[in-house]
Amino acid sequence: MNFEIKYKDARGRLGVLKTPHGNIRTPALMPVIHPGKQTIDVSLYGAEVVITNAYLIYKNEDLRKIAEKEGVHKLINFSGPIVTDSGSFQLSLYGDVEVTNQEIVQFQEKIGTDIGTSLDIPTPPSVKKERAERELEVTLQRAEEALEVREELMLNSVVQGSTYPDLRSKCADILGKMDFQVHPIGAVVPLMESYRYEELVEVVMASVSHLPDDRPRHLMGAGHPMIFALAVAMGCDLFDSAAYILYAEDDRLLMPNGTLKLENLYEMPCSCEVCTSHTPEELRQMEKSERVELLARHNLNVSFAEMRRIRQSIIDGNLWELVEQRCRAHPFLLEALRSLKNFTTDLEKYDPPYKKSAFFYSGPESLNRPEVYRHWKRLERIPTKKRVLLLPRSRKPYSEYLYDIPQSYYRIIHDQSIQTLEPQSIETQLDDMQVAVVDVPFGVIPLELDQIYPLAQNESPQDYDEDSIKMVNNLLKNYLREFEEIIVSDKVLKTFRLDKTFQIDEDHLFSLPLKIMVDDHERIKRIADYQFGAGAGSGLFTGDIKIVKSRKTGKIRHVYDGEELIATLRASDGVFVLAREGARRLHSFLPYPKNRVVVNEDAEPFAREGKSIFAKFVINCDINIHAKDEVLIVNEQDQLLAFGKSILNGKEIHDFKTGQAVKTRKGGF
């Protein structure tokens, strides 16, 4: 098995799957090729891999002879990787097939398939659980049998279990312990055909969250481009599509945001070769066979363009924005997107905390994204002070645009009442006071953190919607419990309706001078706490601390102890990149195995030389590591060898045996 992840966003992975007939870049679309009716060269439109039906070849004497003699690649005239189905689709249609599981697995290996499939039982949605359990046992038995009879064939094993998440998870757990290379998620076509996307989310998440991370997942029968982005965000890597030809035969055009009927078109919908060369009327006047081929070409163009767009969005770090755009194409897709909030904890573990792209708020669904959840979890790392001052948003970074702004304030006390604040300068009260801005979508942003990604790199409408107001109100009520005294501006109080939560007397309201300067030493400690864990700032920044700022922007760039560089504050996302001394200090402060990747003896000398760490040499790691985190590379005795940036998260590092796990910055310890 050789699957390597290059980039990540959400649960989406841009990776490379190596097969005997070439590499597959994932996420990938596999056009379905009928072994006896191929009319279009799909490789011209971007297909790196295709899928065909081994059972149809097996049953057709002429096709079978060619495949057994010359191989399946010659049969369907495709030189790249070929995946074959076992006949499970026919089994779901007709209730029986004329081949055994053992026979079809051996046949797939004989004809030179790159990735074959065992003959699973595709249990449809909403059947009685007893039937689903019974058929799942047969699927698992056949999976074991497939492994026994295959020699070198890469094998799919399909996750089944109908619409019962517990059965899907059970199946994934069992199959994950076996030596398979790819895991399709089966029997979901009826859910997509009936727009039951919310149930699709449950099925997919119940499956992928229990499958090994080092194996690609294939969402079987997902051929419409409007579903691709959502499925990739949930962790699906491969898709198969007969939709390009089936929709064409019905005079329908696939688009990323839905389906168009040729009979309703006045203009062609895109800039592909078909749409720029023909009018709707010209297509309607053509012979059926010619029209079908042209519409199929359009459908392939659109489908592969969407897959390219998704791969680029993973690299750029804006996959979530694309998902939110696509899911607004249909009410039931939007419903499915909203249901993902039930899986936020899982998604947050896989979503990189730092990205190239800013966070764009596109609606209430954005409030459920992993970045928001992560911010509130990391806020718990920041030491609590006795008092807090809550300010309304301004331009970003907030701390640079708060000077001498007159504000009106109230004091909240914890007997559910709000008192008017005495008319004195808040500037004299800043000892032991946390100053924070209240804004959407992140709720509360302490000023020391206002330059960290994505707290500084986000945009939302000036007018808050009802969902965001309600969410921030709920977050504030919990947040304020930690403080003995709360001073809140009138604008925050009214905008987020705290005046409805607390009893307020509006007879007196004072405008006070506001002069706030964030202490640089306090800022670097709070950033370190937020990034590495509570207390990390004090562990890193002790001694003769000197802070060097950018001459151009005035922002912190480097932190030294005397002449020794501890860390650099990265301009793009406002987080620390460790220097050698910073790595030493963090290693001394953090208990084992926190922020650590542990390598075996073979990798130890390479780590000391500053070479990147490959997953196969890792014997342990902190399971809470995220992709793009700063990590410490140690040996089994917890001796510091090197430090660098993680490419994978903790669970992925444990699962993978191929590819890079950490990009080492420096060794030499």
Positions marked catalytic:
85
The alpha helices in 61-179, defined as continuous H runs, are: 61-70, 72-76, 88-94, 101-110, 129-149, 165-176
H/E element holding 527? helix 520-532
Compute the distance between CA of residue 81 and CA of residue 24 in angstroms, rounded to an integer: 8
Q: Check residue 549 and report its DSSP letter.
A: E
Looking at this protein, which amino acid is placed at residue 204? V
CB-based contact 444:476 (threshold 8 Å): yes
Angle, helices 288-316 vs 319-327, to 10°: value is: 140
C-alpha distance from residue 498 to each of 476, 506, 512, 520 (Å):
9, 13, 20, 31
Cα atoms in the 13 Å half-sphere on the side-chain side of 141? 9
Compute the distance between CA of residue 229 and CA of residue 321 in angstroms, rounded to an integer: 10
Compute the distance between CA of residue 371 and CA of residue 628 in angstroms, rounded to an integer: 14
Question: How would you list the strands of the sheet with 556-561, edge to edge?
Answer: 545-549, 556-561, 564-569, 576-578
645 burial (CB, 10 Å; 0-12 / 13-18 / 19+) is: middle
Beta strands in 175-305 (DSSP E): 183-185, 217-219, 238-241, 252-255, 258-261
CB-based contact 498:476 (threshold 8 Å): yes
CB-based contact 254:336 (threshold 8 Å): no
Cβ-Cβ contacts under 8 Å for 386 (sequence gap 6 or more): 432, 433, 483, 484, 485
Residue in 624, 631, 42, 667 with CA at minimum distance from that of residue 296: 42
Compute the distance between CA of residue 238 and CA of residue 651 in angstroms, rounded to an integer: 21
Compute the distance between CA of residue 656 and CA of residue 497 in angstroms, rounded to an integer: 49
Q: Is cis: bond before 269, omega within 30 of 0?
A: no
